Amino acid sequence: MKKLKIVTIGGGSSYTPELVEGIINRYESLPVTQLWLVDCEEGKHKLEIVGALAKRMIKKAGVAIELHMTQDRKEALQDADFVITQLRVGLLEARIKDERIPLKYGLIGQETNGAGGLFKALRTIPVILDICQDMKELCPEAWLINFTNPAGIVTEAVNRYSPIKKVIGLCNVPVGMQKAIADTLETDMKNIRVRFGGLNHMVYATEIEMNGENKMPYVLERWGVQSMSNIKGIEWHNAFVRELGVVPSPYHRYYYMAKETLEDELEKFKQNGTRAETVKKIEDELFELYKDETLEEKPKLLEQRGGAYYSDAACNLIDSIYNDSGDIQVVNTLNRGAMEEFEYDEVVEISAMITKNGPIPLTVGKLPKAVKGLVQQIKSFELAACEAAVTGDYNKALLALMINPLVQSQSYAKVVLDELLEAHKSYLPQFYNKSVMYLR
């Protein structure tokens, strides 16, 4: 049996128990012998708590997995087969700023969209690129599985600016959409075939089949309050969805229902604070549960964290690459001509066949004209965000913010940009110290 080594950077994450559960459940097909959990000094305390729970889970399962915890990333990466990144630069305190500051100026505050999404990318991309440099030296044949948000922008940056080409981005949104589509059809997920195309948090279901029959018209007619725990379920008008011709994701509410979503966020902001502050409370509760020395499994509360199925999706992907399964999964990968709206070398979120050599994207063809402009505008934002992150160029960051459809204000864009740059100054050295350059 091959010794299989998985390294998780951001190992102190509250999602880690789900990852450990996924590895344990697949032990027969995915014989992991070493699991390394890596975190930084800020995350040391959480790493110790999560690591102790992971050890209890492994012991209960009776599987021969060595668990290592470390703050030495290079020690962990040596000869790794798979590297998972699930980090948050600046912890949840940074996300709170990403959401509060735009809302103060009447702009949507969200961790992966608009101004908040831009700044999460600006903080994250340099760190991920440094990890890629270490991987080139220590485990050049390893696969990088990224579900650090914004997953699409991060994966785009790795492909453009790092020496690592074996990279795949992941998101849990398509999994949630498939579950909702199956519920709409009153069947199990295994009985349907859904194809996806678009961008991360901008993906559409483009085909739906059940027993060889096209079920897209049926689903479009009934697509209603499909939501996620971190996005309010505002009901779609069926006539709009039907005319759109493809099934939108929950995150499309930020664009198609921007006014209602902003009003809802502002109301919650006044009453209970941002979504980030709610998440922090849930995370605090989770870590109190994780401390319980009798706990030996993933707690149910984790599903409220907003990222359910992320880690399970990562385990599915790793299992399929390792076993050359050829099954279909939704991933962030190079377009390679599968979608006409994007360049060959641009990253898209798409249904793909998973092989030992990586994803082979399935041809989607043309998206409806009604959605083409929006996805291309978001891709232009993603590319500008990547360039701003690696160069530390203020004007490129301003460009990215200005072309994002959730901003649409020259004066507010500059004010929000300046305030967020100052708020995150310690995590944005490329903007303040010009001797720091991440462009490879």
User: How many whole angstroms separate alpha carbon 29 and alpha carbon 5?
Assistant: 14
- Catalytic-residue membership of 251: yes
Q: Mind giving me the DSSP string for 38-72? A: E--GGGHHHHHHHHHHHHHHHHHHT---EEEEES-
Residue among 15, 161, 204, 251 flagged as catalytic: 251
Whose tokens are 């949630």? That residue is 176
Work out whether the CA dihedral 328, 334, 339, 344 comes out positive or negative.
negative
Determine the angle formed by the axes of helices 275-291 and 91-104, rounding to 10 degrees: 160
Phi and psi for 74 in degrees, rounded to 5?
Answer: -65, -35
User: How many whole angstroms separate alpha carbon 22 and alpha carbon 6?
Assistant: 13
**In the chain, what are the helix, strand and coil shares in percent, each to the nearest 5?**
50, 15, 30
Structure tokens at 253: 């509410």
User: How many whole angstroms separate alpha carbon 420 and alpha carbon 411?
Assistant: 14
Whose CA is closest to 13, among 88, 117, 112? 88
CA distance readout (Å), 102 to 109, 119, 152: 5, 11, 22
User: How many whole angstroms separate alpha carbon 46 and alpha carbon 48?
Assistant: 5
- 124 contacts 111 by C-beta, under 8 angstroms: no
- CB neighbour list of residue 69: distance below 8 Å, 6 or more residues apart: 11, 36, 37, 38, 47, 48, 51
User: How many whole angstroms separate alpha carbon 317 and alpha carbon 326?
Assistant: 11
Per residue in 252-270, is it b (16+ CB within 10 Å) or e — as a string?
A: bbbbbbbeebbeebeebbe
- 71 contacts 37 by C-beta, under 8 angstroms: no
Per residue in 74-85, is it b (16+ CB within 10 Å) or e — as a string?
A: eebbeebbbbbb
- CB neighbour list of residue 184: distance below 8 Å, 6 or more residues apart: 218, 219, 222, 223
Give the 3-state secondary structure of residue 372: helix
Q: Which residues are catalytic?
A: 251
